[in-house]
């Protein structure tokens, strides 16, 4: 079954248009909405997951949890769902306000999207994480330096945007 997404305008308003996510090509002024979840544990480390090897893009790379907002969902509902589905954690007791957002416009590929980034603080360990088999093959709680190393080796997705989000929050990243 195709996942359906709502199409948004540049001001984040739903246009009334709903399309299948797979193969979506968005025209100028059309956007889909994504969410990313930075999960940080009590030791200050960040939950990262390793993408399944059968992913058609960036297989085996590391990332934070996230995904597309489905038709009818809000950004907040989507981040709750994505974190629960992908890593088995409940963040419903956390502040559900994005700490950072950005737009990507790629008219040539029709890949226009808006991303809301959330930052959750949980007292959890790897033992509390349950990975969704189709999404990830491994997880770790990593220091910022370890994430930087993965990014330097071109093995971490969304690095610069996560860095921008944390800096916008005033997080010290040294």
Within-domain flag for 172: no
In a domain, 84, yes or no: yes
The CATH number of whichever domain residue 103 belongs to comes to 3.90.79.10
Query: Number of structural domains, the chain?
Result: 1
Q: Does 134 score more than 90 pLDDT? A: no
Classify residue 21: in a domain, yes or no: yes
- Asked if the structure places residue 169 within a domain, the reply is no
Parent domain of 12? 4-163
Residue 42 in this model has a pLDDT that exceeds 70 = yes
Mean confidence (pLDDT) of the chain: 95
Residue range 85-99: mean pLDDT, rounded = 95
Confidence of residue 57 (pLDDT cuts 50, 70, 90): confident
Full-prediction pTM beyond 0.75?
A: yes
Cβ burial of 92 (10 Å; 0-12, 13-18, 19+) is: exposed
pLDDT score of 40 more than 70: yes
Instruction: Report the chain's terminal Cα–Cα distance, integer Å.
Output: 45
What is d(CA 164, CA 20) in angstroms, rounded to the nearest whole number? 30
In a domain, 170, yes or no: no
- Weakest-pLDDT range from 1-10, 116-125, 150-159: 1-10
**Is residue 173 assigned to a domain?**
no
At 133 the pLDDT is 86
Residue 95's nearest CA partner among 55, 52, 48, 38 is 38
Question: Is the residue at 149 inside a domain?
Answer: yes
State how far the Cα of 38 lies from the Cα of 31, in Å rounded to an integer: 22
**Residue 66 in domain:** yes
Q: Is the pLDDT of residue 29 over 90?
A: yes
Q: What does the pLDDT average to over 46-69?
A: 94
Closest CA to 35 of 165, 167, 141: 165
Does the structure show a pLDDT above 70 at 100?
yes
Q: What pLDDT sits at residue 2? A: 80
Whether 5 and 32 have beta carbons less than 8 Å apart is answered as: yes
Q: Cα(174)–Cα(162) distance, rounded to whole angstroms?
A: 14
What is the C-alpha radius of gyration for the chain, rounded to an integer number of angstroms?
16
pLDDT at 1: 63
d(CA 85, CA 66): 10
């Amino acid at each position: 079954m195709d996942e359906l997404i709502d199409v948004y305008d540049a001001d984040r308003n739903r246009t009334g248009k709903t399309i299948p996510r797979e193969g979506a090509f968005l025209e100028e002024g059309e956007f889909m909405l994504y969410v990313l979840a930075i999960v940080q544990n009590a030791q200050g480390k960040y939950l990262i997951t390793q993408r399944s090897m059968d992913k058609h893009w960036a297989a085996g790379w590391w990332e934070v949890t996230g995904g597309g907002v489905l038709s009818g969902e809000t950004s907040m509902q989507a981040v709750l769902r994505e974190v629960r589905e992908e890593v088995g954690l409940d963040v419903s007791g956390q502040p559900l306000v994005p700490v950072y957002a950005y737009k990507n416009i790629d008219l040539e590929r029709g890949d226009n999207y808006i991303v809301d980034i959330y930052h959750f603080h949980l007292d959890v360990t790897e033992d509390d994480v349950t990975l969704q088999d189709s999404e990830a093959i491994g997880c770790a709680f990593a220091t910022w330096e370890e994430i930087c190393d993965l990014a330097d080796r071109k093995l971490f997705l969304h690095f610069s945007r996560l860095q921008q989000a944390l800096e916008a929050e005033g997080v010290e990243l040294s």
